[in-house]
Amino acid sequence: MNRAVVKSFEKKYGVGVELSTFSTLDEAIAKLTSGAVGYDVFVPTQPFISMLVAGKILQPLNLSYVPNLHKEVWKRLQSPWYDVGSRYTVPYTIFSTGIAWRNDFLPDYDPTKFANPYDSLWQMSEISGKVAMLDDQREGLAMALLRNGITDVNTGSQEQVDGARDALKELIDLVNLRFYTNDYQHIADSSIWLTQAWGGDMTAIGYYLPKGTPVSVVSYWWPPDGRGLMGNDTFAVLKGAKNPVLAHLFLDHLLDTETALLNMEFTGYQQPLTEMTPERVLEEELVPENLTSAIVREDQFEKGFLQGPLSAEGMGIWETAWSEVKTT
């Protein structure tokens, strides 16, 4: 989050805000459930929301304090499928998950040359050690599912998830696959030439490239018809919030278009706001011309493959498969 966004809230309401970050949602949830930390606002991703509600970690929202939800947000995310009625969350950033590469090192690479663009990573043994995947269970296995022709990225099928596991183990052997969440740093310093990537990380890549290296050396692919991996982070108010009204007002602050544009200057991630159009973010020079494929359009969001909660059995299947991938 852009510190300037936090400061603008502090100034508006005459308060101080402490911002803390975490490496993984599992780490964050463990801290929250232990009662060791006491925060007002939390940023969960879609698959975890039902678990957090069932665990009484989140409190129901009073949307009268968050008027920007209905004033600014895309209609389909005012009452999203994962939280009908926005009872516990409001949307934060939206993003696609695609493929990024350094075209100065891979001038002939183009995922669309392949019948299945996701299979292109499995065909790059000649650049062993320069290929990476997001170190994220859901993202990694989901990409392998798409490579295997399966579009249900929330499948609970043992056979399908095991097939994704085996595909990733094969990829590890073929290209000496690396796993990172800071994909932007490794693409920027060219220690990695080809990687699964979050679109928002790529739109901000200019901040990380060495001085004198143009943004044009980076390319990003994601299905233009929207039938690809995508997701959105959310904001929620914690059950034990000591400042619940201010927490709600903070959510509303982040759903203001001008605030969102300021935030994107730092994060590279857009928000699902009606006035935050592709044309607007280009006009504000928040996305390089060569990386417009990372912009998520409202009509695309309807067609994307969104990660959602898994059953208890399904969660066990996915966790076991990912553990076996990471110990290969």
**Per-residue model confidence as pLDDT tens digits over 296-307:** 988 888 889 998
Q: What does the pLDDT average to over 32-40?
A: 78
Rounded Cα–Cα distance for residues 94 and 200 (Å): 8
Q: What pLDDT score does 104 carry?
A: 97
Q: What pLDDT score does 24 carry?
A: 76
Q: Judge whether 20 and 39 are in contact, CB under 8 Å.
A: yes
CB neighbour list of residue 177: distance below 8 Å, 6 or more residues apart: 131, 132, 133, 168, 171
How many residues are listed for the chain in this entry? 328
In a domain, 327, yes or no: no
Q: Residue 32 belongs to what domain range? A: 3-94+230-305
Q: What pLDDT score does 144 carry?
A: 98
Q: What pLDDT score does 212 carry?
A: 95
Domain end residue (candidates: 228, 250, 278): 228
Eight-state DSSP code of residue 130: S
Tell whether the model's pLDDT for residue 80 goes beyond 80: yes
Domain end residue (candidates: 202, 228, 254): 228
Q: What does the pLDDT average to over 225-240?
A: 93
pTM value > 0.85: yes
Closest CA to 93 of 254, 207, 258, 204: 254
pLDDT class of 328 with cuts at 50, 70, 90: confident
Rounded Cα–Cα distance for residues 289 and 287 (Å): 6
Tell whether the model's pLDDT for residue 87 goes beyond 90: yes
Rounded Cα–Cα distance for residues 186 and 202 (Å): 11
pLDDT class of 114 with cuts at 50, 70, 90: very high
pLDDT digits (tens, 9 = 90+) for 181-191: 898 999 999 99
Quickly list DSSP for 78-128.
TS-TTSTT-SS-EEEEEEEEEEEEETTT-TT--GGGSSSGGGGGGG-GGGT
Phi, psi of 37 (to 5 degrees): -125, 150
In a domain, 319, yes or no: no
Rounded Cα–Cα distance for residues 9 and 279 (Å): 27
Q: What pLDDT score does 147 carry?
A: 97
Rounded Cα–Cα distance for residues 20 and 90 (Å): 19
Q: What pLDDT score does 36 carry?
A: 65
pLDDT digits (tens, 9 = 90+) for 125-154: 999 999 999 999 999 999 999 999 999 999
Rounded Cα–Cα distance for residues 163 and 141 (Å): 9
What is the residue-averaged pLDDT of the chain?
94
> CATH number of the domain that 74 lies in?
3.40.190.10
Rounded Cα–Cα distance for residues 158 and 162 (Å): 6
Q: What does the pLDDT average to over 199-223?
A: 95
Q: What does the pLDDT average to over 18-37?
A: 79
Domain end residue (candidates: 228, 257, 273): 228
In a domain, 166, yes or no: yes
